[in-house]
Amino acid sequence: MAQGLFISIIEGKKAMLKKKEKEKIINDLTDSLLKCTIAIATDYRGLTAKEMVLLRRQLRASGIDYRVAKNTLTKFAADKSGRKQMEPLLSGPLAMAFGFDDVIKPAKILNDFIRSSGSALQIRGGLLGGRLLTAKEVTDLASIPPKKILASQLVGQLMAPLYSLHAVLSAPLRGLAYVLQARVRQMEGG
């Protein structure tokens, strides 16, 4: 009888430990969902362990968190964080990439990894702010240039009208200068 009681106590502690581990995972996922600017859901079936390690290193080097997560735990975290709209992405084997600053960087790294390695990794979709993204929208997001390039293009676009105005306003003065120089040369030669 004592041995049976001892075994049930040990099994009870194991169950509690698993419950605490699950709660920790849910809290970590909830925290990531609340802090991230973009979350991208991927299907990692067919990836070798070597490819998974390589992908995680590339993502970690850019400050992106990549986690394999159970769908039920991710669903609880999505409910807890107020991101219920991501539930359609939660089916089958799931790994989530959480980007915390640049929203384009995670999509670009995942897309480049798939293209360069011929990997079996598939992008299912994502969550940008409160908006659910399809796999195509995540892939399209990867084709947007980085922030610095976009900023320089914007500055160029803003400066173009100023250059045009400068050219229009300086044309009569430049024409007058040419006429005066021609007259000076004419008078010197004459």
Walking along the chain (190 residues) 10 residues at a time, the average pLDDT comes out as 49 64 90 91 89 91 90 91 89 90 90 86 89 91 83 82 79 83 83
Q: What is the DSSP secondary-structure string of 154-165?
A: HHHHHHHHHHHH
Residues 35 and 82 reside in one and the same domain: yes
CA–CA distance, 188 with 184 (Å, rounded to integer):
6
Residues 128 and 171 reside in one and the same domain: no
pLDDT value at residue 57: 92
In sequence order, the β-bridge partners of residue 65 are 98
Residues 169 and 99 reside in one and the same domain: no
pLDDT value at residue 106: 92
Residues 139 and 152 reside in one and the same domain: no
Residues 64 and 127 reside in one and the same domain: yes
pLDDT value at residue 59: 93
Residues 127 and 164 reside in one and the same domain: no
**Reported pTM:** 0.70
Residues 35 and 102 reside in one and the same domain: yes
pLDDT value at residue 1: 47
109 touches 62 (CB < 8 A): yes
* Total domain count, the chain: 2
Q: Which domain holds residue 181?
A: 146-190
- Residue 93 belongs to domain with CATH number: 3.30.70.1730
113 alpha carbon, distance to own chain's centre? 14
pLDDT value at residue 19: 82
